[in-house]
Amino acid sequence: MENQESLIKQLKASRGYAKASMTRLYSFVLNAEDVKLTDLSILQAKRSRLVELFKEYESYNKQILALDEKDPEDVAEIEGKYFKILTVLNDAVMEKSSPNTSTSTCAFKTKLPTIQINTFTGKYSEYMPFINLFKAIIHNDRSIDNVQKLYYLRSFLQKEPLDLIKNLPFNSESYDEALNLLNSRYNHTSKIINEHINSLLDLNAIYKSTPSNIREFVSQVKQCLASLKNLNVKTETWDPIILAILYRKLDSYTSRAYQLERSDAADPTIEDFLLYLERRALALENVEPMTSGKTHHRAAVVNVAAASEFKSCKHYTAARSASASAPAAAGC
């Protein structure tokens, strides 16, 4: 019993030393000016030391809990400090290691907009774009270790994808395991194809033929077909099926105009159909300002004519009143 208490005391002391070291790093990152003035190599060393300390801290916690289940340690508080320190140090390292900080070229470099990674919520068709962008920006960055990559990965997940990996411990091995879990769950070509086909079936109908409505409709159709082709789906023979679906989405005027315009000499194709819609959108767009101008001009002519007629009537009535009382001019 004494040996166990002695071991617990020793482990708690070691844990306390790790906590104290992380607290000093936490105080350091709270001072933005100190972080800004620190050399890149020192920041990288502090970051590496932080990761080591947190691993030691977790190891001590596990050993203590195995001996004392009622250990009152507030692990959440230390984890919060750890992620705060890690984020600040990582941002500082990335800023200092960026080529734009070079004094010889920074004045001539254009600052590009920050690339945003959209949150992944579990839609199959969004998985490959999400994971490819994540790998290009974060996974392939050698200045970031796996623990940090796991932290960033979790920050871009919500709902089911986050539930899938949130219980993994924060260590290097968990990052690869998290990627494998996500890939196994969401990288299913058949489900992705079904989502794109459903998107075609669920397209909003065009109830009013306006240039914006038609162009949005064409854009959505092209996106769905392009996505299917990227998945190596042979859509070349799908024209009759897809056209039958799209015809039902058109308003009666657009559908009738297409049937009158198309040639009966050849079978209709999706390409010809979309070209027709684009031409119709352009035609409607060109007609709108002309129609508006003609209406305005006609209204102006009517107003001028009415004013002129009223003025003539007024003078004529005054002249007749000055003479014998004769009947007023007809129509006045």
Token pair for 305: 């004519």
| Lowest-confidence pick of 101-105, 145-149, 237-241 | 101-105
What is the structure's pLDDT at 99?
52
Exposure b/e, 317-328, CB count within 10 A at least 16 = b: eeeeeeeeeeee
- Using the structure block, give the residue that is written with the tokens 């308003």: 251
Burial of 43 (0-12, 13-18, 19+ CB in 10 A): buried
* Predicted confidence band of residue 102 (pLDDT cuts 50, 70, 90): very low
Spell out the SS3 assignment of 204-257: CCCCCCCHHHHHHHHHHHHHHHHHHHHCCCCCCCCHHHHHHHHHCCCCHHHHHH
pLDDT of 308 over the 80 cut? no
Mean pLDDT of the chain: 77
Helices (H) and strands (E) in the chain, counts: 13, 0
CB under 8 Å to 53, separation ≥6 — which residues? 18, 21, 22, 25
Write down the pLDDT at residue 302.
47
pLDDT, average across residues 26-50: 86
Encode 22-36: b = buried (16+ Cβ within 10 Å), e = exposed. beebbebbeeeeebe
Mean pLDDT to the nearest integer, 138-156: 84
For the residues 221-246, what does the mean pLDDT come to? Answer: 81
Residue 316 pLDDT greater than 60, yes or no:
no
pLDDT of residue 108: 47
Q: Which two tokens stand for residue 151?
A: 């932290």
**Per-residue pLDDT tens over the stretch 106-124:** 444 556 677 788 888 888 8
Phi, psi values for residue 269, rounded to 5°:
-125, 160
Q: Residue ranges per domain, the chain?
A: 2-101, 124-187, 193-332
pLDDT band at 304 (very low <50, low <70, confident <90, very high): very low
Residue indicated by tokens 């140090």: 89
- pLDDT (tens digit per residue) in 49-90: 888 888 888 888 888 888 888 888 888 888 888 888 888 888
Q: What is the rounded average pLDDT of the residues 240-268?
A: 80
pLDDT digits (tens, 9 = 90+) for 148-176: 888 888 888 888 888 888 888 878 788 88
Which pLDDT band, with edges at 50, 70 and 90, does 303 fall under?
A: low
SS3 299: helix
Provide the pLDDT for residue 331.
45
The tokens 């009013």 sit on which residue? 208
- Report residue 105's pLDDT band, with 50, 70 and 90 as the boundaries: very low
Rounded-to-integer distance, Cα 148 and Cα 97, Å: 17
- Write down the H helix ranges in 38-169: 40-67, 75-97, 124-134, 146-155, 160-165
> Is the separation of the CB atoms in 228 and 203 below 8 Å?
no
Arithmetic mean of pLDDT, 211-240: 82
Q: What pLDDT shows up at residue 110? A: 57
Is 52 in a helix, a strand, or coil? Answer: helix
Average pLDDT value for residue range 138-155: 84
Enter the pTM of the model.
0.46
pLDDT tens digits, residue range 275-301?
A: 888 888 888 877 766 554 455 455 444
Q: Span 16-22, mean pLDDT? A: 87
Residue 313 has pLDDT above 50, yes or no: no
Rounded Cα–Cα distance for residues 98 and 206 (Å)? 49
